[in-house]
Amino acid sequence: MLSVLRNGTYRRLFTAQVVALVGTGLATVALSLLAYDLAGDDASAVLGTALAIKMIAYVTIAPVIGALADRIPRRSLMTAMDLTRAGAAAVLPFVTEIWQIHVMVFLLQAASAAFTPTFQATVPAILPAERDYTRALSMTRLAYDLESLFSPVLAAALLSLVSHDWLFAGTTAGFLASAALVVATALPAPAPVERTGGLRTRAAFGTRLLWATPRLRALLALDLAVAAAGAVVFVNTVSLVRDHLDRPGGAVPLALGAYGAGSMLTALLLPRLLQRSTDRAVMLRAGFALPVALAAGAALTATGPRAWSWPALLALWAAIGAACSAALTPGGRVIRRSTAEADLPAAFAARFSLSHGCWLLTYPLAGWLAAGMGTTPTVMVLGAVALGAATAAAMIWPARDPYRLEHLHPDLPPGHPHLADAHPATGGRQHGHHYVIDRHHHRWPRKTPGRSA
């Protein structure tokens, strides 16, 4: 899998992503400590608001950037966003009011909402071969998982030497290093875009594209299933470990580490697995594995702590991490196959926005249900959400999902260049090709004859 790093352009961009992720991890720890300094016992409320602001920034900013991405060179855009994040991180040690934290967090996360989809849309152009692109997707999944595991360890090591204010300095340095790597990277020119409509229309295009394409609509349903299972892990692990299993505080990162280990192992195996199976088969099986794991988790929480409860929880969390990775990681391949090259930024931005909208729903749901009903009902409800989402994905995504579709054009004039290979048919002119939603194709054909990809 590491062979993909032989591509110098991708290697520099991937390194920039990893460095920025480490900086983000340090900022997460430092922000928690800063909130405690300013708010004391109300630090949890401050951090909860900051997380909500993060999700709101992701949901609202990404589609706008997707609409503007064709007007700004991608290298300039990513560099500017890294510098913005570096500036926000550099200011955070000097804030003295809670509202200032919220403003800086919004600025930092808005820049991330612009950087990440742009990065995602750039990688397919750098690695046109599907085998290489699949490996790059697994590398990205590994980078996120390793950051979640090792950034807290690095932060703890640094805090033994310096105060938490210096962690923000590390964050700033990480974003500056990322910007330097992006500046040093020559990126391929994006495909030309024919702009139609105003900013609002273009910002909504990515969402319309995802919603109009059956396999992409199924992708969003799987994102909801992942968010339901992930919310149980990230929100309810503390109470499960400390209260239900009566384990010490040090067991909490071990449980979260089991989730990360399952995700990383799956990311390593996916390139080979996807050579033998389709994206649909891998992702749907993973989607249905999530409610099964959550049902086992509900059974575990419904019984008193036993000798086997702790290893069972670790195994369940690892299974959820593996299923989440298998359901999420191939999504980039699905978007790439379902989108014109010029529309990739809009598609990735819309998926980034809508997937985080799922987390914005499930995070508070997991917290509120646990506070009002207890852990077992919470896991059962979110398991039901995951089952409903996985079932919807299986129903939406056709088992026979052809690459080439024969379709009619009743709305284009006979001499239109797009109809050069079309022939007259009842209701218009008919031809077949790799079908995607674009300016000539506004809805998915009801009948899909053709050959499979």
> 28 lies in a domain?
yes
The reported pLDDT for the residue numbered 45 is: 66
Show which of 162, 190, 218 is a domain's final residue. 190
> 381 lies in a domain?
yes
The reported pLDDT for the residue numbered 452 is: 38
Count of structural domains within the chain: 2
Q: Which residues of 112-147 are buried (b: 16+ CB within 10 A; e: fewer)?
A: bbbbbbbbbbbbbbbbeeeebbbbbbbbbbbbbbbb
Q: How far apart are CA 226 and CA 78, in angstroms?
A: 28
AA letter at 192 = P
Q: Are 243 and 390 in the same domain?
A: yes
> 256 lies in a domain?
yes
The reported pLDDT for the residue numbered 295 is: 96
Q: Are 334 and 200 in contact (CB under 8 A)?
A: no
Q: Which residues of 434-453 are buried (b: 16+ CB within 10 A; e: fewer)?
A: ebbbeeebeebeeebebeee
Show which of 166, 190, 214 is a domain's final residue. 190
SS (H, E, C) 183-206: HCCCCCCCCCCCCCCCHHHHHHHH
The reported pLDDT for the residue numbered 450 is: 40
> 411 lies in a domain?
no
Q: What is the pLDDT of residues 125-165, one digit of tens each?
A: 898 888 898 888 888 888 888 777 777 667 767 777 777 77
> 449 lies in a domain?
no
The reported pLDDT for the residue numbered 47 is: 64
Segments of the chain with pLDDT less than 50:
448-453
Q: Are 146 and 275 in the same domain?
A: no
Tokens of 16: 């920039």
Q: Are 81 and 137 in the same domain?
A: yes
Q: Are 186 and 257 in the same domain?
A: no
Give the distance from CA 392 to its chain's centroid. 20
> 135 lies in a domain?
yes
Q: Are 223 and 296 in the same domain?
A: yes
- CA contacts within 13 A on the Cβ side of 168: 22
> 289 lies in a domain?
yes
Q: Are 209 and 184 in the same domain?
A: no
Q: Are 212 and 183 in the same domain?
A: no
Q: Are 87 and 4 in the same domain?
A: yes
- The DSSP secondary-structure symbol of 430 reads E
Q: Residue 46's domain is classified under what CATH number?
A: 1.20.1250.20
* Beta strand extents in 410-450 (DSSP E only): 423-425, 428-434
Q: Helix, strand, or coil here: 434?
A: strand
Q: Are 185 and 207 in the same domain?
A: no
State the residue range of the domain holding 30.
1-190
The reported pLDDT for the residue numbered 380 is: 96
> 110 lies in a domain?
yes
Q: Are 10 and 131 in the same domain?
A: yes
Q: What is the pLDDT of residues 62-98, one digit of tens each?
A: 877 766 666 778 888 899 999 999 999 999 888 888 8
The reported pLDDT for the residue numbered 82 is: 93
Q: Are 147 and 256 in the same domain?
A: no
Show which of 158, 190, 222 is a domain's final residue. 190
Q: Whole-model pTM?
A: 0.84
Residue whose token pair is 């608001």:
49
Q: How far apart are CA 388 and CA 417, in angstroms?
A: 44
The reported pLDDT for the residue numbered 61 is: 83
Q: Are 45 and 155 in the same domain?
A: yes
Contacts of 335 (CB under 8 A, 6+ apart): 216, 219, 344, 347, 348, 351
